[in-house]
Structure 1
Amino acid sequence: MSKHHRLRPAAVASAAAVVVLALGFTGAAHAAAPATAASSAGRVGDDPDQPDNPLYDAPESFHVASGREAVSLSWSKLSAATAYEVYRAEAEGTGPDDVGPYALLATVSTDSYVDDNADGDVEYAYKVRALDNASHVSPYTEPRRGTRDTVAPFAPRDLTRVREDERGVTLTWRSGDSDAVKYVVYRAESPNAPRTKVGSTTSLTFRDTKGEPGLTYVYEVRGVDAVGNESGASNGVTGTKSVTSATAPKAPAASPPSRQR
């Protein structure tokens, strides 16, 4: 949208009349103040083309991030803005216009907003516009969608021990057709013992190199989605890091016989 105003037809005609009159009386044009259209004071409203509205553009870099506890919004500040209105509508489809009616959610003076009152697992559309001290408003940002996601991924399936050697225990599994973005591997020294996190990976395989050689562990894997929801546990498998001559316990040295007096 252009930031330069175009003279209205009435203003152009008035200016031309001033020049003609000046030429008629003196034969030469004299500098004269340009006529001002009666509507140049503008009107307060949501029209970004009003002549005295400094808020020509919508806030830029509008971003919406889904989270487990809230939906977080951010945008770039406009120099003429003193506040920002945040609007929200419930999404009703996948298209940009497939939303319910927008309602004013909040008015803030910062360049961010956290919607921690969003209903869990409901997709919303958000948009923002700027205000100044004269109640002028900017255009809206393009809508962006976000969800307070509380649903954990499906548990990984078919956890399998594929190798045991002196380097560790290698595991593999299937994703379980979930939205997990990474997997956390846990182990315990017995089926009923507390689990300890031993590592994470974005792939479907993991090798535990830190186990005690010769000690059998119980392993399980859990998926984690983009907002941090963790799935239930996969099936459990056992694995043992091999004992080598380098890792085998050393026999205690024999004590020299004591001398009797």
Structure 2
Amino acid sequence: MNPARRTTATASTVVVLATAGTLLTALPASAATTCTSPVFKRQFFANTSFSGTPKKTDCDNAIDQTWTGAPATGLPKDNFGVRYAVTRDFGSGGPFALSASGLDGIRVYVDGVRKIDLWKNGSTTVSKTVNVTIPSGKHTVRVDYVNWTGSARVKFGYTPRTSATVDKVKPLAPTGASVSYDPATGKAKLTWARNKEMDLAGYRLYRRLKGTTFGATPLATTTGTSYTDATLPVTGDTYYYEIRAYDKAGNASGGTADQAVVTADRTAPGIPAGLDITDASETGGLRIGWGAVSGAVSYRVYRAATENGTYTRVGTTDEPSYRDASTQVRASYYYRVTALDAAGNESGQSVIVKGARRDETPPPAVTGLTATPTEYGFALNWDANPAPDLFRYVVYAGELVGDEEEQVCYVHEVEWLGAETTSYEYTTVPDGEERCMFVDAVDSSWNSHYRWTRSPNIVTATELDTTPSAPTT
């Protein structure tokens, strides 16, 4: 309660006027009093009709006063009036209870319409409560109080009715919603304007991922007008927020316009899986393949000389495969692969796969082959093959078929020999037939000069004829 206070004009200027021999003293009017809603403006009148200029104007945040004498300097202790008025925003409005009591007369108005009338000079306190429905928006509440004689007492209040069976009016949706995002911390801060409803209980905040709907359970509940969300996933996705007000009766407003946030992306894509290695025969090297990873824009390929060695990046590709052309024939290599997204986040390394580049270069042709007829067939001799990975020799022998203009050597495998061997005794029946022979070189990767080129160095020789001239008895 703010009791009536005496006010003193500061630096008042007195103007003296002469009118028909009478001196009139005029004092300047005090500056207009402004009271911030929901504080009441209070005016004191020296009459019960609220006529003329108020003797005093001030602000009072609650109507609950008792006077045993004059309520203010310049007013009588009887037959005075006090007028209270406030204009405030009631938000969505709803059911309210207006309560008034006092000695002597009290009248309550809402937007100029009388709601309570206790206008009677009496010696006992009178009181009354009425239920009204106040529409949404701004409305003016006015209380007129008069004291005719005796003690003066006035009390008034207006409160929302918050029973769920009575209040069916939803609050208005919050206004002024905005959101800011800090990429460094990954936090989003929402702010909004406070609702005007007097029965407001708080606000519920909802969050959804783009492409989904808001769930039934709020992200958070608060009675303030700001909230910081520290639980946003840092995945580079877009999220939307919505704020809803709710009152003490459980009524909830509609949501604000969606407030969008694009989060920082610090989440790595999945680890590549399904790795395999094939020999890139047509272009050389080893080709590593894997399954495409969702959200990946590129991949990094790492290689080591041993399974537990140091893996060094050998290449980057935007396809789920990579050809490592820097490999050497007959050497083993170990590979791991990672995935990268558009924000540069790199996944963990894949499982290890091992591969070796296949040797597809055959040894050179065997040279220096000679076939010397013997009593058992032929003695074969040849030059040592220079292939570093030579594994064996294969001796082929056969017969010449065809006429003198064109003959073909039909051969078959006779013997496999070690790489250190450069001679062979080919046994046959020395009956004077002409024979054809060659020796093929095969390396440790089973590359055969003959099978790759079909151009062996063929030699021909005639057997000794040891057939008896006459049948043996």
Q: What is the TM-score normalised by the length of structure 1?
A: 0.42
Higher relative contact order (CA 8 A, sep 6+): 1
* Greater helix fraction, Structure 1 or Structure 2: 1
Greater radius of gyration (CA): 2
* TM-score after normalising by structure 2: 0.26
Greater strand percent: which structure? 2
